[in-house]
Amino acid sequence: MGIFSVYIVNKAGGLIYQYDHNSQRTEIEKTFSYPLELVLKTFDEKVMVAFGERDGIKVGHTVLSINGIPAEGKYLQDRRDILEVLNDETNYPINIKFGRAKLTANEKLMLASMFHSLFAIGCQLSPEQRSSGIELLETDTFKLHCFQTMTGIKFMVITDPKQTAVDIFLKKLYEVYSDFALKNPFYSLDMPIRCELFDNNLQLAIEQAERLGVSNI
Amino acid sequence: MTIYNFYVFDRNGTCLYYVDWNRRKQSGMSADEEYKLMYGMIFSIKSFVNRISPTDVKDGFMSFKTSQYKLHFFESLSGLKFIMNTDLNVGNIRDNLKQIYSTIYVEYVVKNPNCELDKQITSDLFRTKLDDYIKGLPFFAAKVS
Amino acid sequence: MSRQSARGTDIRKVNGELFTLTYGALVSQLMKDYENDEEVNKQLEKMGYNIGVRLIEDFLARANSNRCNDFRETADIISKVAFKMYLGITPVISNWSPSGDEFSLLIENNPLIDFVELPEGHSSLNYSNILTGVLKGALEMVQMDVDVKFVQDQLKGDNLTELRLKFIKRLEDAIPAGED
């Protein structure tokens, strides 16, 4: 719990670092008989539940595997089309695993640049002078904190809605970034960060923030 | 505390109503373009939130803050979107937005057979009721220098 | 002001018979104007649709329910909350299709048909067809495309009135112009 993930975005909107912390995602496996009582659709190249809920399977969950064969996008690993398999009565009874899909590297890139533009629009639509972009976004399941440095780097942290002291963590993150990425002579600016020291220190900062955030509640 | 402005969109992205009170900066574009941009931003935030959320979302997006203002969002199950911008000191006002929906929009627009639901709201009754309601809110301050 | 304070604690009730008579007058006038049962059905459905898209907002504002993510949940709310609230009856939900996308509402005491005797030669008229429109319009506003039709009608000698609802698809929000 506490801190879910960290994104670092350069000034052009490119994702240069991403880390998922504590990602425990629910997965539900169930054997179905024909016909399937769930309405499925393809969304983002995945097969997703559009309507209908059974035994913890929720709208928005994707098909993760069928009869133990993992899904890759709209297809199973053996190249069969998932929707076709599920529409064929002869394949039943069938065992399907559902869950919230993990974000792929590509989707993370896309989401980072999406937030980059939302940040700018939030500033443009401000009813008040001299506004920044979006600094805190609240939903019922998480909070997104964003800190933009003077140089235009954005640090985005996704946390539990109850996590506190995220501001301190963001400052710490900036320090870690300048110490272990920027000061590393082999790191080139605005490029993806691949430094072990950075990883380790980020990890430490997260653990510290979670302890701090919890003790403050 | 202060309330800057207020938007209502239907699910087709039509801006049904816009009003401002203490707005201090214009977006530098025509009203129509601004509505389009606002609807587009809300639409993208919703889709962003759905994808990036680590767990299943229910209400989803509720509000965001910048250094200067806070945007509050409420969406009815029928897809009507209510957006209110306030200053940063205003807390959670979802219940107020919900109330605007259920006691002002439903009463004075939906139940008024002269109001077409997918067109801009021109009803004077709606305008006055909304204005009275907003001005009666504890976090509405008429003039802050 | 009186309108606003009326919400929630509304004790003004319309006499049920007045309502039934009003509806009856409406249908019989339509039958005179159109002289064609199919056309009357269509008109009734259209009127119902226009009522439905408005009524749903009133319903949501009052009932405070959450979004349905399952058609069984939808069926329950239609019968136990919506029908109860607006017509004072609770239709029985039955005849689910195996894939759970179709069900029937069985109505024994349809308030619209009190005092009604269908005249000869109107076997294709669905007297209460306004209900199909209301359901369709209301559900469409909560992003569900549903097909609604009469299967049985007490006015035509059936034991009860049966409305069949079939889920077609989930509707999505309009995508803003210029985006994918």
Let me know: does A158 contact A4? Beta carbons within 8 Å: yes
Q: Which residue, among A123, A130, A170, A174, has the nearest Cα to A151 in the 3D structure?
A: A174
B64 domain residue, yes or no: yes
Q: Which residue, among A42, B117, B12, has the nearest Cα to C177 in the 3D structure?
A: B12
CA C153 to chain centre: 14
Q: Which of C54, C70, C145 to mutate to test the interface with B (most CBs of B within 10 A)?
A: C54
**pLDDT category of residue A121 using cuts at 50, 70 and 90:** very high
Q: Cβ separation of A122 and B53 shorter than 8 Å?
A: no
Q: Cβ separation of A36 and C99 shorter than 8 Å?
A: yes
The residues on A that touch B, with CB distances below 8 Å, are 4-5, 23, 25-26, 44, 58, 60-61, 100, 103, 107, 111, 114-115, 117-118, 121-142, 144, 158
CATH architecture group of domain A27-99? Roll (2.30)
How many whole angstroms separate alpha carbon B145 and alpha carbon A98?
A: 55
Specify the pLDDT at position C5: 42
Mean pLDDT of A104-121: 95
How many whole angstroms separate alpha carbon C91 and alpha carbon A89?
A: 33
Assign residue A184 a region: left if phi > 0, alpha if psi is -120 to 50, beta otherwise?
A: beta
Q: Cβ separation of A50 and C99 shorter than 8 Å?
A: no
How many whole angstroms separate alpha carbon A197 and alpha carbon A179?
A: 9
B112 touching C (Cβ < 8 Å): no
Question: For A147-172, b where at least 16 C-beta lie within 10 A, e where not — what string?
Answer: bbeeeebbbbbbbbeebbbbeebbeb
How many angstroms separate the Cα of A23 from the Cα of each of A5, A121, C13, C92? 8, 30, 55, 44
Specify the pLDDT at position C138: 96
For C65, which DSSP code? P
Q: Is domain A3-23+104-212 classified as CATH 3.30.450.70?
A: yes
How many whole angstroms separate alpha carbon C41 and alpha carbon B120?
A: 31
Mean pLDDT of A56-84: 91
Q: Is a pLDDT exceeding 80 seen at residue A215?
A: no
* CATH 3.30.450.70, chain A: domain bounds: 3-23+104-212
| pLDDT tens, chain C, 180 aa long | 344 444 444 556 788 899 999 999 999 999 999 989 999 999 999 999 999 999 999 999 988 888 888 999 999 999 999 999 999 999 999 999 998 999 999 999 999 998 899 988 898 999 999 999 999 999 999 999 999 999 999 999 999 999 999 999 988 877 776 544
Chain C residues touching B43 at Cβ < 8 A: 173, 175-176, 179
- Say how many domains are in chain B: 1
Q: What is the pLDDT of residues C133-143, one digit of tens each?
A: 999 999 999 99
Q: Which long-range contacts (CB under 8 A, 24 or more apart) does C18-21 make?
A: C19/C111, C20/C111, C20/C112, C20/C114, C20/C115, C21/C115
**Residue C92's CB: how many other CB atoms inside 10 A?**
13
Let me know: does C79 contact C90? Beta carbons within 8 Å: yes
B143 domain residue, yes or no: no
- Give the nearest partner residue to A131 out of B51, B61, B69, using CB atoms: B69
Specify the pLDDT at position B28: 87
- Give the nearest partner residue to A118 out of B48, B51, B68, using CB atoms: B48
B142 domain residue, yes or no: no
Whether cis (ω within 30° of 0) applies to the bond prior to A192 is: no
Please, which residues have CB within 8 angstroms of residue C10's CB and are 6 or more apart in sequence?
A: none
Q: Cβ separation of A58 and B56 shorter than 8 Å?
A: yes
C92-94: strand order across its sheet: C92-94, C102-107, C161-170, C144-152
Helix axes A196-215, A166-177, angle to 10 degrees: 170
Q: Cβ separation of C170 and A52 shorter than 8 Å?
A: no
Specify the pLDDT at position A43: 86
Let me know: does C149 contact C136? Beta carbons within 8 Å: no
What are B16's two structure tokens?
A: 């049904």
How many angstroms separate the Cα of B133 from the Cα of each of A127, B28, B104, B105? 21, 29, 9, 12
Q: What is the pLDDT of residues A28-42, one digit of tens each?
A: 999 999 889 899 999
Chain C residue with minimal CA distance to B125? C1
CATH number of domain containing B129: 3.30.450.70
The shortest C-alpha distance from C73 to chain B (Å) reads 15
How many angstroms separate the Cα of C65 from the Cα of each of A37, B59, B78, B106, C56? 23, 13, 12, 16, 12
E strand or H helix at B7: strand B3-9
Domain range spanning residue B58? 3-136
> Neighbours of B (≥3 Cβ pairs closer than 8 A)?
A, C
C116: helix, strand or coil: coil
Specify the pLDDT at position C176: 73
Specify the pLDDT at position C178: 57
Count of A-B CB contacts under 8 Å:
122
* CATH 2.30.42.40, chain A: domain bounds: 27-99
Let me know: does B1 contact B86? Beta carbons within 8 Å: yes
Residue type present at position C91:
P
Specify the pLDDT at position A217: 43
A45 touching C (Cβ < 8 Å): no
> Neighbours of C (≥3 Cβ pairs closer than 8 A)?
A, B
Give the domains, in start order, of chain C with CATH numbers.
Answer: 16-117+125-170 (3.30.1380.20)
Mean pLDDT taken over chain A: 91
Chain A residues touching C73 at Cβ < 8 A: 53
What are A156's two structure tokens?
A: 């985005």
Provide the whole-model pTM.
0.89
How many whole angstroms separate alpha carbon B82 and alpha carbon A133?
A: 21
Specify the pLDDT at position B95: 94
Please, which residues have CB within 8 angstroms of residue B101's CB and are 6 or more apart in sequence?
A: B74, B76, B80, B82, C61
Specify the pLDDT at position C179: 47
Chain B residues touching A158 at Cβ < 8 A: 52, 54
The shortest C-alpha distance from B47 to chain C (Å) reads 11
* Reduced 3-state DSSP string for chain A: CCEEEEEEECCCCCEEEEEECCCCCCEEEEEECCCCCCEEEEECCEEEEEECCECCECCCCEEEEECCEEEECCEECCCCEHHHHHHCHHHCCEEEEEECCCCCHHHHHHHHHHHHHHHHHHHHCCCCCCCCCCCEEEECCCEEEEEECCCCCEEEEEECCCCCCHHHHHHHHHHHHHHHHHCCCCCCCCCCCCCHHHHHHHHHHHHHHHHHHHHCC
Let me know: does C145 contact C171? Beta carbons within 8 Å: yes
A179 touching C (Cβ < 8 Å): no
Q: Cβ separation of C167 and A53 shorter than 8 Å?
A: no
Let me know: does A134 contact A122? Beta carbons within 8 Å: yes
B141 domain residue, yes or no: no
Please, which residues have CB within 8 angstroms of residue A88's CB and are 6 or more apart in sequence?
A: none
How many whole angstroms separate alpha carbon B14 and alpha carbon B96?
A: 22
Q: Cβ separation of C100 and A41 shorter than 8 Å?
A: no
Q: Which of C73, C97, C99, C143 to mutate to test the interface with A (most CBs of A within 10 A)?
A: C99
CA C28 to chain centre: 19
B144 domain residue, yes or no: no
Q: What is the pLDDT of residues A11-66, one digit of tens each?
A: 999 999 999 987 667 889 999 998 898 999 998 889 999 898 888 898 889 999 99
For chain B (length 145 residues), average pLDDT per consecutive 10?
Answer: 94 94 90 95 95 89 96 95 95 95 95 91 95 93 54
B77 touching C (Cβ < 8 Å): yes
